[in-house]
Chain A
Amino acid sequence: MTRKTISGLAAAMMLSTTILLAACSSNDKEEQASQPPASTQASGESPSASGGAPAETPAADPLGKYEEPITVTQVMGFNPPQDSKTPKGLTPEKNAYVSKLKEMLNIDLKYLWTVPSEQFDQKFALAVSSGDLPDVMSLKLLDFESFRQQDQLADLTEAYEKYASPTLKKYLESDGGRTLKMFTYDGKLLGLPSYEDPFMSSQILWIRQDWLDKLQLQPPTTLEELEQVAEAFVKNDPDGNNKNDTYGISMNKELISWGFDARGLFYTMGAYPKAWTKGSDGKLIPGEIQPETKAALEKMNDWYKKGILDKEFAFKDINKAVEDVVAGKVGITFGEWWDPEWPLNLSKEKDPKAEWKPFPLPSYNGNPGLTLVPGLRLNWVVTANKKMEHPEAVVKMANFYHEMWLPKYQEENKPENGYVYNWYEPRIYNPLNIDDLYTRVNAALKANQDTIDAENPEAPQLFANAKKFLSGDPDTTAWGFYNSRVKEDGGWGLTRKIKEEKKFVYNEFYGTPTPTQVERGSSLDKLTDETYLKIIMGSGKTDEFDKYADSWKKLGGDEIAEEVNAWYAERQ
């Protein structure tokens, strides 16, 4: 399992859940202002003007059927269908969404090629270089940027204004149009960004409550207390097997990755390596060379010597770190809200006594631990090829996807009927879906309902799992879902609190890599990773960090900082 895969997993876990459906939930705290993204058409050369005849009618039907069938080409990277009831041998071409699209909108969806998602990037790069571009493309940020610079993307301003359904508008503008504005250049909307709630990345602390109870310890609220708990977990045999085989805090050789790593610890101490936070002078500063980072590394060095950190962590990849969590060798791990769904559920299955509980980042020197949150959490940008005859079809196709989740299609839209939702593109998700699910399911539980309305298609499953857990069923899947998505002091519940209490800082840089980053970024990252490991494992001297900071700046860091700040100034 490669690192990429797992980060894909993490992203996908959230992603899948980030589905749909209108019906504003009562507690959407986000501003719902529907501010149109692009006010005026700056230039008259909108390619969509040459589009279909329907573009002339003012109040266009978001799902208007074309009189003559039109063909839209796509390419796709796909995963196996998630539902085991999906008919065997189904291919993306035979996906029922595709035939329904034809029936409802008279659009013939054609795939130039399909490939498993892991290989998509490579295959897509080949297609780009051989000049074979489809009409509709869901692009990563980097690809979007290069296509935009080469002027290959159609202007979707008019199509969006005329055809976007209320649902689509609601999702895309759920942050007050901030993200949509980012993809508007010279008044032209070039893509429909499918983004997510950035708070899904919040770091929290997962601790085994059963170990705390056994050793009669209180959950830590400060870093010092965390250290005491961790030391007790090392020395006092929390698993009661009379063997000295446990360590304190889970770590792996990638200090800054996607899970079971050192990010949470850095953030607790106000250090944000590999991120850009706002400094006191209003400029963005690189976290990896700040004094807070130095202090955090020294703390880790101390913990390493004390055995709180696994002595072998430098040889363990994420897989191995997870093995330790499941095998019960470690009782503390920094992670995210979804950890109970994987791998804590496996730990629970292995040892039913294991009771993992989430806690906010501890405070340090009297300051609360502030987690880092990305400025933008983007899955992909839906774009149309400039050469596409009917760019408005992109918007209609996105509308169609949301339409299909409405209750009236609920009987039809099922995996056993050949509907595979993750095989249909373009998909624009509800950025606030996890929160929506949380609210719905909790409301239904409080009202003591037997069933839940199906407006959010994921809600019934989640509700059933929550019920199952609350009825005392030992099923660890139900345990995982309840503890991550439903419980008020569970993974998502705690994440909401972090957001409400503003215990976070933004990573302010979320543009595409700057030229120097492209050129030097990977070697600088390598320098960073190696130095950090050396400092933690204690072979280095105390001034090692300062020497590193110097060379980091000289080897391109200063240029990167300039470029990043130029980007930042432009964004303001």
Chain B
Amino acid sequence: MVYKESLSRRAFHVVNVIVLSAITLMGFLPFVHLLAVSLSSNTYASAGEVTLWPKGFTTNAYQYMSENAAFFESLVVSLKRVAIGTVVNMLLVVMTAYPLSKENAKFQFRTVYVWFFAITMFFGGGLIPTYIVVKETGLLDSIWALVLPGALNVWYTVMLLNFFRSVPKDLEEAAIIDGAGHWSLIWRVYLPISIPAIATVLLFTVVGHWNSWFDGILYMNSPSNYPLQSYLSTLITAINVQIISVDSLAALQDLGEKTLRTAQIFMGALPIMIVYPFLQKYFVKGIVVGSVKE
């Protein structure tokens, strides 16, 4: 079949490609720039002359980072945090969202709980009370201080419970007739059908844990317990101060503060950039993967 596109449709396609390419470039070029700066010599980087291609190519910044034990120590902390944090968060979110997605008839105090959770979304204790709670519960300086205080994300819970509600009731009834209890319902009916929503929440959680740096600095009493981003943020800001002694000034001549900073930002963002495409496909699949035809 020969399908002839109208002129306006072809024009639309052209504009579409141009606009989308422009948007893609806007997201992509900054990373290319970061990479280029991190691979350039300090002089060119400080003169602001590096755009998309390294000038005075050098890998000093990456060598410095790879020789630095603290970088890998904190990488381990970060991986541990993402692993533990994601499992705990996902479990809690699913377990909370499931009952709250039921109607009032099935779960009497549902509204009370929903309000209870909703309030925490808008009102928090603030920095100091939260810190004191973490301190008094003895979590300071342990990985749990990074995982537990934000373990139940109400926003994700609401997202998920709305998704659960959109699952056709017939499916649940069919499973109940087949003898399923609530556990089987969660694990064998709701979860498999909610993969797009779960994947979204999962990605947010992973990214959230990976990028979070402030709580590490807050709750950890010594930098050896810092997750990667906390460690990076300290290096990024502290490196300037090194300029002060004769020796470090010499070192900074070929390893600039700017190149090191960009190298670290790039390394810090890399894992997420790798993970993202694999989860991405779930978002585009559309929301309900239907199994019941009405």
Chain A interface residues (CB < 8 Å from chain B): 1-2, 5-6, 8-9, 12-13, 15-17, 79-80, 82-85, 88-89, 91, 93, 111-119, 122-123, 126, 129-130, 132, 320, 322-324, 326-328, 341-343, 345-346, 349-350, 458, 461-462, 464-465, 476-477, 480-481
Contact = CB atoms under 8 A, between A and B. Distances in A.
B248 A82 contact: yes
B47 A17 contact: no
Given A116-B234, A118-B237, A130-B135, A79 B242 contact: yes
B203 interface: no
Contacts of A122: 217-218
A129 B237 contact: no
Interface in B13-70: 42-44, 46-49, 67-70
A123 B218 contact: yes
B217 A326 contact: no
Contact of B241 (A79, A328, A462, A481): A79
A80 B238 CA distance: 7
17 contacts: A9-B241, A80-B242, A82-B242, A82-B245, A82-B247, A83-B248, A115-B223, A118-B237, A122-B217, A130-B131, A130-B135, A326-B46, A326-B47, A345-B253, A346-B42, A349-B253, A477-B246
A196 B270 CA distance: 44
Nearest to B128: A129
A79 B238 contact: yes
B235 interface: yes
B234 A113 contact: no
A112 B257 CA distance: 30
Interface in B239-254: 239-251, 253
Given A6-B240, A350-B47, A461 B253 contact: no
B208 to A, nearest CB: 20
Nearest to B224: A91
Nearest to A342: B243
B291 interface: no
B141 to A, nearest CB: 8
Interface string B187-230: 00000000000000000000000000000011001111000000
B241 A343 contact: no
A123 B46 contact: no
A382 B42 CA distance: 38
- Sorted nearest first, the 4 A-B pairs with minimum C-beta distance are A116-B234, A323-B48, A16-B244, A113-B221
A341 B243 contact: yes
Contacts of A5: 237, 240-241
A499 B251 CA distance: 33
Contact of B46 (A16, A343, A464): A343
Nearest to B132: A130
B131 A346 contact: no
B244 A82 contact: yes
A93 B49 CA distance: 42
A464 to B, nearest CB: 8
Contacts of B132: 129-130
Nearest to A464: B246
A323 B47 contact: yes
Contacts of A2: 237
Contacts of A12: 241, 243-244
Given A116-B217, A116-B223, A116-B238, A83 B245 contact: yes
Interface hub of B43, B131, B248, B258 (most chain A Cβ within 10 A): B43
A187 to B, nearest CB: 35
B135 A322 contact: no
B68 to A, nearest CB: 8
B127 interface: yes
Nearest to A16: B244
B249 A480 contact: yes
Contacts of B258: 1
B246 A326 contact: no
Nearest to B64: A84
Nearest to B221: A113
Contact of A126 (B44, B67, B218, B261): B218
Contacts of B257: 1
Q: Which of B44, B246, B257 has the most CB of A within 10 A?
A: B246
Contacts of A80: 235, 238-239, 242
A311 to B, nearest CB: 17
A508 to B, nearest CB: 30
A229 B47 CA distance: 23
Contacts of A8: 240-241
Give the interface centre of B224, B239, B245, B261 by most chain A CB atoms within 10 Å. B245
A327 B47 contact: yes
A298 B110 CA distance: 68
B51 to A, nearest CB: 13
A350 B43 contact: yes
Contacts of A481: 246, 249
A444 to B, nearest CB: 16
Nearest to B231: A116
Given A17-B244, A83-B245, A326 B238 contact: no
Given A91-B222, A130-B128, A477 B250 contact: yes
Interface string B64-88: 0001111000000000000000000
Given A324-B48, A477-B250, 8 more contacts: A8-B241, A16-B245, A79-B238, A82-B242, A115-B223, A118-B234, A346-B42, A480-B249
A114 B217 contact: no
Given A477-B250, A481-B246, A117 B238 contact: yes
A371 B224 CA distance: 45
Which of A111, A114, A119, A480 lies at the interface centre, i.e. has the most chain B CB atoms within 10 A of its CB? A119
B241 to A, nearest CB: 5
Contacts of B261: 1
Interface string B240-278: 111111111111010001100100000000000000000
Contacts of A341: 243, 249
B9 to A, nearest CB: 42
Q: Most chain-A CB neighbours within 10 Å: which of B128, B135, B242, B261?
A: B242
A15 B244 contact: yes
B237 A346 contact: no
A113 B68 CA distance: 22
A324 B46 CA distance: 9
Nearest to A75: B221
A19 to B, nearest CB: 10
Nearest to A462: B246
B92 to A, nearest CB: 26
Nearest to B234: A116
Determine which residue in B47, B49, B241 has the highest number of CB atoms from chain A within 10 A of its CB, and name it.
B241
A116 B241 CA distance: 11
A465 B249 CA distance: 12
Q: Which of B67, B68, B243, B250 has the most CB of A within 10 A?
A: B243
